[in-house]
Amino acid sequence: MASWPLLRWIQNMDYLELSLFWVAWLAFFLGTGFAAHYIYGRKSMGHYWNSLYGALGAYLGVCVHDLWFQTFSAYEPALSVFLIAGGMLGALQTATVISSW
Q: What is the DSSP letter of 41?
A: G
> In the chain, what are the domain boundaries?
28-99
Q: How far apart are CA 28 and CA 26, in angstroms?
A: 6
pLDDT (tens digit per residue) in 50-73: 888 888 888 888 888 888 877 766
pLDDT for position 22 = 85
pLDDT for position 74 = 64
pLDDT for position 80 = 81
pLDDT for position 73 = 65
pLDDT for position 17 = 85
Q: Is the pTM of this model over 0.85?
A: no
CB atoms within 10 A of CB 91: 21
Phi-psi domain of 13 (left: phi exceeds 0; alpha: psi -120 through 50; beta: other): beta
